Structure 1
Amino acid sequence: MPEEPKVRKLDARSLRGLAHPLRMELLNALRRRGPATASMLAERLGESSGATSYHLRQLAEHGFIADAPEHGKGRERWWQAVDQGLTFDTTEFDGAGPEVRGMAEIYLHEVAATHARELSGWLSTRDHWSTEWTRASDMSDMTLRLTPDLATELVDKMHALINDYRGRVTDETPGTEQVRVHTHLFPTETD
């Protein structure tokens, strides 16, 4: 059975350290591509190394990333992600002040924007992929009628199913690529 990824639950303090578009992008880059230096990340993300260095230090101060000394040589400082994922329960911020609620909004909107950028990136590069990968991709949407309890059950089952696929292949398995899976479940207004 595959090992569950290490996931961190966001609270008001940690949200302060993460609710910034560049910090979220840096953390995602370290999670997906592994340890890197501020200069490497600056080049990859089209930012200055000064900006990436500052935001990496902020992420480290809030426990999202840590030194990766086994990668560094000399004065070169390498960083790695501490966790593989985040959980965020919006109800925990219901009674929070405007500053915390604002950071929660920034975080949620940046997650949605990241998902949209990733999907758009796939659509603009899909002709560079093999027919097998093009057929294996998915962009579906469905509409159901559910109660909050059933919606929670569905989300839990989707996450369990996705986790069941972790560790089934290695980097050496032919045809293996990193994939992104987005799930969104939300209520909509009906007439």
Structure 2
Amino acid sequence: MNDLTDTQLIALAARQDAAFEVLVRRHAPRVHALASHMVGAGSADDVVQEVFLSVHRHLRSFRGDAQFTTWLHRVALNACYGLLRRRQPDALSDVPEPSSPLDPVGTSETLQLRERLAWALAQLPHDQREAVTLRELSGLEYAAIAEITGVEVGTVKSRIARGRSALRDLLSARGVTVGST
């Protein structure tokens, strides 16, 4: 079954659990990465579970107007925003400031960089965070992001450019050297 396309698996998933399991194994890592950057690593597993439960419930209603991955990313974003709304009105205020680079106990350089990036992403307006995350972390094309978010391609490009610029400023202010993109 691993050789089947998403379209073929979707057709089989209504009758065969194994087909749905292949879809989950194939797409869960990307959904988890998206969720980690949108709601934090601690909540990402819950979001992934919610996403695939929802996908399983609604797979029969998937019409195929868009690619499965586009639909899946929209479901994932909706689950992330739902979790953020349930947390509290200003959920992003809970994202901790990165620890000091001079912390003697400290963690690895990579972990510190990830922590700072997560913090900086959380500071972006949700439309910029969404666009940057879909492009840079999920690797989606501009047209797919436009379809997921319901805006024009030019708007997606603008949000990504503004988000990248803001990330560069936020990270630079915290001592992270950021090259131009």
Q: What is the TM-score when the length of structure 1 is the normalising length?
A: 0.30
Q: Which has the higher helix share?
A: 2
Structure number with bigger Rg: 1
Q: What is the TM-score when the length of structure 2 is the normalising length?
A: 0.31
